[in-house]
Amino acid sequence: MKVTIVDYKSGNISSVINSFKEVAKDKVNIEVTSDLKKITSSDKVVLPGQGSFKSCVDALNKINGLTDTLNEFAIINKRPLLGICVGLQMFADIGYEETETKGLGWISGIVSKIDNQNGKFKLPHIGWNQIDIIKESKIFKDIENNSHMYFVHSYEFIPEDKKVISATIDYSSNIVCSVEKENIFGTQFHPEKSDRIGLKIIDNFINL
């Protein structure tokens, strides 16, 4: 089996690569590439994202044919894809970081700035927070509710269809921190920085 981590030159993804290799051991081939043919021939794809919504979308669009290839992989061929942090946010129709930017449009919704209630809550939201698992999700297999995950973000994904939400956190309001829609999975938190529980989530995705 081949799992591809999409490297589209958006931030440092070394911890994502290292975590997936640690979980995969020698059982699974972990490829790190933006080569369209290699992505197409993968069994599963990981879409990381660091930086702003706009910078990540721009970086994806800079690689000719990449968004079409990802679209074909996840939407047409319905193969498993995991978005991490801004990788999840890009599932939305539109993001409002820096300027209004069109997302991938895979899960209808918007990405807007967390309401920090006039400075009552620090932004970016950095550090560990308890997740509230609100629906059964394949990537939360054997994960206890109220487990702590690691976050770094100032923007939140607000999906139109609340049924896709698999977990939330309480930070200023109820913020979506995980989604699942058929073969598409996304986490606002960083599983690769969330210790052994994060590694278990990666393991669950690899073993889908």
Known catalytic residues are 85, 190, 192
SS3 166: strand
The residue among 145, 208, 160, 156 whose CA lies nearest residue 187 is 156
The answer to whether residues 39 and 4 touch, using CB atoms and an 8 Å cutoff, is yes
SS3 40: helix
Residue 94: how many other CB atoms lie within 10 Å: 15
For the chain, what is the radius of gyration of the CA atoms? Answer: 16
The answer to whether residues 188 and 178 touch, using CB atoms and an 8 Å cutoff, is yes
Angstrom distances, CA of residue 122 to CA of 95, 129, 172: 21, 13, 9
How far apart are the C-alpha atoms of 201 and 207, rounded to whole Å? 10
